[in-house]
Structure 1
Amino acid sequence: MGAGAKAVGGLRLFRWFSLRHLGSHWARTLAVLLGIALGAAVFTSVRLAVHATLDSFSHSMDRIAGNADLTLVRPGGRVPDSLVADLMRHPVVRTASPVLSAYVRPVERETPFLLIGIDPILDRELRPWRLPASARRQAPDWALLMTRPGSLMITAKLGDLLDWQPGRTVNLVHASRTAPFTILSEFEAQGLALVEGGRIAICDIATFQEFSGLFGQADRIDVKLVDPASDPAAISLQRLLPPGVVLRPPSARSQSGRSMIRAYELSLTFLSFISLFVGMFLVYSLVALNAAARRGELAVMRATGASRAVIFGLFVGEGAFFGITGWLLALPISSLLVNYLLTGVSRTVSMLFVRVQVDSLVLSAWEIMLSFGVTLLVAVLAALQPAREAMGVGPREAMDIVPTATIRPQRISRLAVVGVVLLALVYPVARLPSPPAVSLPGYLAALLLFIGFALLSPLLLRQTGRWLAPWLLRRGGQPAFLAAGYLRESGVQTAVSVGALITAVALFIALVVMIHSFRSTVALWAQQSVAGDIYLRPKLAELNRFRDPLPPRVVAAVKNLPASIDRVPIHCQELRVNGHLHFFEAMDYAAFRRRSRFVWMGGNAGRIEADLIAGKGVVVSEVFSNKTGLRTGNRYRVQIGEQHFDEPILGLFRDYRTRGGVVYYSLEHYQQRFGDASWSGVQINFNRRGPNLDAAIDRVRSALIDCCGETIEIIEGQSLRRTILRIFDETFAITTVLLLIALVVAALGIATTLAVLVLQRRVQINTIRAVGGSAAQLRRMIAWEAGLIVLAGQAGGWACGFILSTLLIFVVNRQSFGWTFLYRVDWPSLLTALPLIFAAALVAALPAVKLALSASPASLLRGGTRD
């Protein structure tokens, strides 16, 4: 017989033996398929949403970089555009183009967009952009921008968003001033027009310099080489550059953003995989039931010539059927879920890491195939052990159907030993070195933790039934005692369901503890470190990464405030250490600590603060320390302008700004050292507290707005602290959705398990009915079984959950994002969840009760045990 004929014969046998049986028990089959579909839908949707976000960010950065081979930048400052002439004369340079960019917004709208200033002639070889054909007939692309000062070209997307048309004059707000611009035209949707999801405009760099006051300066100069592969070319260029100006690859800035998004992607992928992991228990449970309930048929098949491989293939095929069909059912669920997740993921990434604009979902063939492959693999792995047991049925085995698949005591002990070994490996695995921004050891340790507790669940069930049986007999009578007895002699299905419940409850416990710990620590940090009354900064300062100083007239107005008001000026700039972007902030810490305090992580706080004020070194945030490996006692070395800055690290403090961490230095000593008196922002504190404080804040706020409101952002401290916590809550909204879905899948597991147990014991149950047991007693027995299953699952889940929360707080978050939190347990929420989960268990028992009472005892006893 050929391979094709064997395959056809195998499919016919699978359809006759497996599919027909699954179809005749459609309710339990549908429950398992729904569990797999939910898990696969979550996994697929999360991966697609994060992939679309990462893809949007990467494409924007690549289009901004264009065809440049190298980029000239000055850390902590800007590059003189006069370098372009020197570069163009250098034999290794093909072209060089200065670039300025900033987020601006219309006066009448709170809708920021990216304005890019370029030299239209020099930039042609680096970044593609084109006018529509009708505009190109009037003049070359570059001529329009260069010959009409104060002009803009916008994308069609931006025009639609702001209701702008060519020929209109609009007023734009920048950190330094407000100025009118005339819209010349829209340009075609290619190249630069696709950056930021199309929310950009371009102008001539001279116009941008006049608008921003950055005469003779550029953010960077992009260089295209004659021979990009020539290393000596870059070396010869570096010799040409003045002190403080360095050469970097164009991708240097985008790599930092990509790594942060990938860390977030892995975190969400892990959480979404939990739903699939729980669904794996459902597949195991049902395939094991089918293998146990059809041993007589398997014996007949073996006696008539079926090989062990054929039996094995039938039950593995059942697992594959659940995987494939569940994944297909997941597709419509994913299409509904992915839009919600895409909005949530892109908003969280923008708030925490880097700004992204995702307008559309791009289906990735790789992500679709990965989702299919993972779902199929999980389902097939779940079916392997039941298939192996079914393969062991011999031709001479008795034809009586074995109604339950009890676990032998020796096997329970072996599983428990393996589980203990896996749990013992959790700590050493979690301590392994981690790749940058990816907590692989943490996630592997969490997986070992889940598997270890799942393998301990049979022992947990046996001991729970043994310990509680006498007490239950006194308290709940014979129904409770029978439930405990069955739990003591529990089968595979019950143990597997408890394993699934342990996983879901552990995830619930861990996330509740982690989120509460995180929120409590962030609230403490905000209360101590963000304790000012008013915060003043340039317009769109955060979007522009605090590159623009406060205008001089704003600084003068702040200095002229009454003497009873404390001012805490800050000078901020973005620097790079060991390839890691972070903020370097010079601050008057003596003024700062009169109202606020850093949350220190060890060391003598008084000595650290005194040394910081005296300019004897820097202090660094936990995020910066974990990302760079630099700790107390190490030296912080960085290039700032033309000088090399080298100072000892005095101490570490908690800080929950996520864009790379922060380093603080004395503002007085910074100004003496670098001669830079500019302020990036200022914190204003009122010394006189009391009932009139709000009125005093309003007066100062109104005075500053009247003076220079068009160029500054004024944020009240109380509002800022509320915003910080709101951002925190929004960040974990997706996590909460993933948690709820995992709990729903676990509830399906309880309902399926109880139904399976009833089906396995229909003869025993109806024998009890035939000898006088009432329907009420049977209901109580099944309800007790549900309660005991949940009790065992909750006990294991609580133990697993607290260990998992420690992993998430002190390993996964530190390795992925660079921060840890103070460990805090939200006991009210956890204790409130106990009765709710028990109530869910009783609800899950209702279908099983209905099934147990669905037929008369006489008909079932006549029909025997065949299911």
Structure 2
Amino acid sequence: MSGFRLVLRALVTGPSRRRPIRALLPVVGVAIGVAAVAAIHHANRSVIESFRESARAVAGRSDLAVVGARGVPVDAIKRLKFLWKVGSFAPLVTGSAVLDDATGEVVSIIGTDYGAEGAVRDMRLVAPATGAQRASLLSSGTVLLPIPFASRHGFRIGSRIPLSSGGVRTQVTVGGLLALSGLARAGGGDVLVTDLFTAGRLLGKPGFVDRVDVVLDPGVSKDAVRREIESRLSPGLSVEPAGRAALAAGRMARAFRFNLNALGSLTLLVGMFLVANAVSISVLRRRPEIATLRSLGASRAWIFAAFAVEGLAVGAAGTILGEAGGLVLARTALAVVSGTVSDVYAPAAKISAAGFGAPVLYAAVAGALSSFLAVLLPAAEAIRVDPAPAMRPGSTESIRRRRLGPRAAAAAAVLLLAALSSRARPIAGFPYLGFAAVALVVLALALFSPIAVRAGAGSARPLFARLFGPAGRLATAFFGGSLARNAVAVTALAMALGMTLAMITTVASMRETVRTWIESSLRADLWVRPASGRAGASVGDLPAEIVSFLQSVPGVAAVDPIRVREGSDASGRPLAVGSSDFRILSRAGGAPLLDGSDSRKTAEAARRDGEVLVSEPYSRRFGASRGDRATLATPKGRKSFRIAGVYRDFANDRGTVVLDRSLYLDLFGDARVTSAGILAADGVSGEDLRRRILAALHRRFAIDVTTNRELRRQVLGIFDRTFAVTRALEAIAVAVAVLGIANALVASAVERRRSFGLLRALGASRRQIRGAVLLEALLAGVVATIAAVAAGAAFAALLIGVINPQSFGWSFVPRVPIGRLAGAASLVLAASLAAGLVPGRIAAATDPAAALSEE
């Protein structure tokens, strides 16, 4: 047998066979972390691939796209006829509608020019088959359906489909069926394809198309054609690369996905500490064996390799189990993440599960790499074992105690570096250095943990001795006498609990800030939106006539027609353009300004002087504040406006520029309404006014009328669903960390069996031994909780003050939910105490005779 195999058997495989349960604990920790990473990565990948596939299906083979601030007027398309000499082009209308049936499903609507479509996009008609039947497809109100969508809903050629879009109910007729390829894959295959006229009528866009896609012949200069198109276009129209829509899809919800990946990695990080803990315990327990092997000629490389193999084996086993667990968790994670994307970013989004190959590979690499990194320090500690001192009991801890001073200095230096990193600006829109600061806090926590263990043992000794007698004195002696082992376990638990406390604080601060924002923003008594689908998604825009209709209902004091649409600044950067009647805003308020000034007076001045309001995300993203200029691309060309104020807004993270309704109509000529806020007359309740509006409808419009209270509840419900997955990940991380406490205590009980036997021989009872181990577990939980409070405060400060503002552009008023924090800490203390039950039984069952014989 080779020398290395002997070393491996003596230090790793032999002990693992004798104590398989203890060897399994770090495997479970890594498995849980890998499962979380794989499931979250799969969900995020599914989101991005679904958006990109839909964007590619719509873009087809196009090289360029003609777009406009309001869309492209149909009359402007005539100026593009010269393109037939160098390629082809096809106009397109896109939007969404709700199936006005029991399903309430949201579907995509695509209008196209059938004659020009073939050169730009693939669209294979399966039925009808004959030319005479296909002629009927040109009839207004006829749509084409992908075969899977039609089969799922039981639609056939000739079926009538009830739709609700833009506040209007209508019906269309199925004229043909499409193979699920090309354009039929848009919207995840839940799409109705129709002619331009029908799409414009359904979506409230008569006289406009959303864009004109251009395909160039081989060898034609894209730049030359672009310049030629731009020279023929009227102000407000522009030419952009065809891939911009797919690029925008890739950026969809990117900050949300980035933060979710980071949070999922927290569980794997805790698993790393569990692996490091297990290997550290192995090194500590086997120091005499290491010394013996070194004396017999084993090289440092063999010792290092043996413990590296142990850590990598744990990582490999945990990764395999974790991949299986990830498959199970993936469906739940996908449902939660896709629900958040639909609620917050794209109501009509259809998220399909992506292949699991890339997430499996990603999680496998993450699991293997984290396990390898976790074993480096313990393995390096093993090769520094000096044979002579290692034979003396307690030599390791004396060395550890001498290193506490340098560790404290290193922890202070790391915290200073974290503070400097937190002040850095985002890189490419992401808070990379903010997350680096979080990692540095974790490192400082790991450096400080041995100091906390020693200080905790010393501080608790008088109290435990007075309250629990001999068991209390033993517990503090046990806890303080095992700095290395307990420090790693305390670090893992403190990190997991600290991040949990930070997330509780952050979410509570966000929720309270959002609640306050809702109360100050939603001043109307009723809100009118287009009829929503089964999932509550409201799609399309209301027609301009909705304003006069609402104004005619008795009991309505005022109507604020609110419009929100996609737009861009003068440089083409995407943002949201909004409009509101500033006269009503100056009367009722509803735009809480960050500087605390009176929004009523600001709105009145903005209306009078032609100024705009911008949201906080816009201010952060574009670096503009009150008094600066905001530029917009409009149908009348690029326009610049003075910013009258910056208001708090959580509706989107791209940024919004809000114009007065009259100014918006003048520049954009778009009278449609996204939603309408209604102020009730004096003496008229919101419920009574809603009944009057619904009674006056006579099915003229398809709308939802929501009271102020109901809308607040819906918004907070979306908020709570958004953070459901984070709470699950936090709970998993804490559970993994508690396993680390149990692992450390079990190893301690096994290592100290001779001490326990001698104590039993000297008169200590089983109850006292068991109590001492339980109290040690409780003390570990207390020290970890105290450290977690300090670390959690740092994590929360970074999340609230750095990461969230840099990720989303939102600021929050800090709020400390004492009750919830105390509850979480109490649960962890109870779990730590429970983690001492099995080690306590092991210690109490020690046979005194056997222990004395070993001595």
- Using the size of structure 2 for normalisation, the TM-score is 0.94
- Report the equivalent of 1:34: 28
C-alpha distance in structure 1 between counterparts of 2:288 and 2:687, whole Å: 85
1:598 corresponds to which of 586, 591, 601: 591
Deviation at 1:716, TM superposition (A): 2.4
1:79 corresponds to which of 60, 72, 77: 72
The residue identity in structure 1 corresponding to 2:123 is: W
C-alpha distance in structure 1 between counterparts of 2:603 and 2:159, whole Å: 54
Q: Conserved in 2, the CA contact under 8 Å of 1:96 and 1:122?
A: yes
Q: C-alpha deviations, 1:832-851, integer Å up to 9, x for none?
A: 23322221111111011111
Distance 1:661 1:398, change over 3 A: closer
C-alpha distance in structure 1 between counterparts of 2:830 and 2:656, whole Å: 48
2:285 corresponds to which of 293, 300, 305: 293
Deviation at 1:305, TM superposition (A): 2.8
2:229 corresponds to which of 233, 237, 243: 237
Q: Conserved in 2, the CA contact under 8 Å of 1:43 and 1:272?
A: yes
SS at match of 2:836: helix
- Report the equivalent of 2:449: 457
C-alpha distance in structure 2 between counterparts of 1:241 and 1:556, whole Å: 35
Q: How is 1:743-758 mapped onto 2 (pairs within 5 angstroms)?
A: 743-758=734-749
Distance 1:840 1:228, change over 3 A: farther
Distance 1:361 1:114, change over 3 A: same
Q: Conserved in 1, the CA contact under 8 Å of 2:555 and 2:689?
A: no
- 5+ residue gaps in structure 2? none
- Report the equivalent of 2:251: 259
Distance 1:547 1:648, change over 3 A: farther
- Report the equivalent of 1:468: 460
- Report the equivalent of 1:708: 700
Deviation at 1:549, TM superposition (A): 4.5
SS at match of 1:688: coil
C-alpha distance in structure 1 between counterparts of 2:256 and 2:687, whole Å: 43
SS at match of 2:814: coil
Report the number of matched residues.
849
Q: How is 1:699-778 mapped onto 2 (pairs within 5 angstroms)?
A: 699-706=691-698, 708-710=700-702, 712-778=703-769
- Report the equivalent of 1:624: 618
Q: Indicate yes or no: 2:103 matched with 1:101.
A: no
The residue identity in structure 2 corresponding to 1:118 is: T
SS at match of 2:131: coil
The residue identity in structure 1 corresponding to 2:480 is: R
Deviation at 1:723, TM superposition (A): 0.5
SS at match of 1:435: coil
SS at match of 2:807: helix
Q: Indicate yes or no: 2:325 matched with 1:333.
A: yes
Deviation at 1:364, TM superposition (A): 3.3
Q: Conserved in 2, the CA contact under 8 Å of 1:100 and 1:116?
A: yes
The residue identity in structure 2 corresponding to 1:424 is: L
SS at match of 1:614: helix
The residue identity in structure 2 corresponding to 1:433 is: R
Deviation at 1:315, TM superposition (A): 0.6
Q: Conserved in 1, the CA contact under 8 Å of 2:343 and 2:718?
A: yes
Q: Indicate yes or no: 2:430 matched with 1:438.
A: yes
C-alpha distance in structure 2 between counterparts of 1:54 and 1:210, whole Å: 31
Between 296-305 and 775-784, the greater mean CA deviation after superposition: 296-305
- Report the equivalent of 1:642: 636
Q: Indicate yes or no: 2:583 matched with 1:583.
A: no
2:181 corresponds to which of 179, 182, 190: 190
Q: Indicate yes or no: 2:315 matched with 1:323.
A: yes
Deviation at 1:62, TM superposition (A): 1.2
Q: How is 1:84-483 mapped onto 2 (pairs within 5 angstroms)?
A: 84-90=77-83, 93-109=86-102, 110-132=104-126, 135-136=128-129, 138-139=130-131, 143=135, 145-146=137-138, 148-175=139-166, 177-212=168-203, 214-226=205-217, 227=219, 230-354=222-346, 355-365=348-358, 367-394=359-386, 399=391, 405=397, 407-483=399-475
C-alpha distance in structure 2 between counterparts of 1:364 and 1:681, whole Å: 43
- 5+ residue gaps in structure 1? none
Between 485-494 and 35-44, the greater mean CA deviation after superposition: 485-494
Between 284-293 and 57-66, the greater mean CA deviation after superposition: 284-293
C-alpha distance in structure 1 between counterparts of 2:186 and 2:668, whole Å: 36
Q: Conserved in 2, the CA contact under 8 Å of 1:292 and 1:402?
A: no
C-alpha distance in structure 1 between counterparts of 2:203 and 2:400, whole Å: 78
Deviation at 1:144, TM superposition (A): 5.3
- Report the equivalent of 2:564: 572
Deviation at 1:854, TM superposition (A): 2.7
Q: Conserved in 2, the CA contact under 8 Å of 1:462 and 1:490?
A: no
Q: Indicate yes or no: 2:45 matched with 1:51.
A: yes
Q: Conserved in 2, the CA contact under 8 Å of 1:42 and 1:275?
A: yes
Q: Conserved in 2, the CA contact under 8 Å of 1:545 and 1:574?
A: no
SS at match of 2:336: helix
Distance 1:423 1:535, change over 3 A: same
The residue identity in structure 2 corresponding to 1:299 is: A
Distance 1:165 1:19, change over 3 A: farther
Distance 1:180 1:381, change over 3 A: closer
Q: C-alpha deviations, 1:332-365, integer Å up to 9, x for none?
A: 2111111100111111112222343123331233
SS at match of 1:153: strand
- Report the equivalent of 1:795: 786
Deviation at 1:733, TM superposition (A): 0.4
Distance 1:624 1:715, change over 3 A: same
Distance 1:124 1:16, change over 3 A: farther
- Report the equivalent of 1:513: 505
Q: Conserved in 1, the CA contact under 8 Å of 2:290 and 2:303?
A: yes
C-alpha distance in structure 2 between counterparts of 1:51 and 1:380, whole Å: 26
Q: Conserved in 2, the CA contact under 8 Å of 1:403 and 1:761?
A: no
C-alpha distance in structure 1 between counterparts of 2:582 and 2:632, whole Å: 21
Q: C-alpha deviations, 1:394-452, integer Å up to 9, x for none?
A: 45566567696555333122222111111111121122221234221111111111111
- Report the equivalent of 2:517: 525
C-alpha distance in structure 2 between counterparts of 1:112 and 1:849, whole Å: 58
- Using the size of structure 1 for normalisation, the TM-score is 0.93
Deviation at 1:674, TM superposition (A): 6.0
- Report the equivalent of 1:656: 650
C-alpha distance in structure 2 between counterparts of 1:776 and 1:267, whole Å: 48
SS at match of 2:815: coil
The residue identity in structure 2 corresponding to 1:271 is: L
Q: Conserved in 2, the CA contact under 8 Å of 1:564 and 1:686?
A: yes
C-alpha distance in structure 1 between counterparts of 2:536 and 2:428, whole Å: 25
SS at match of 1:74: strand
Distance 1:290 1:90, change over 3 A: closer
The residue identity in structure 1 corresponding to 2:590 is: R
Q: C-alpha deviations, 1:657-696, integer Å up to 9, x for none?
A: 125232222224444566665544321111325xx62542
Q: Indicate yes or no: 2:820 matched with 1:829.
A: yes
C-alpha distance in structure 1 between counterparts of 2:783 and 2:175, whole Å: 71
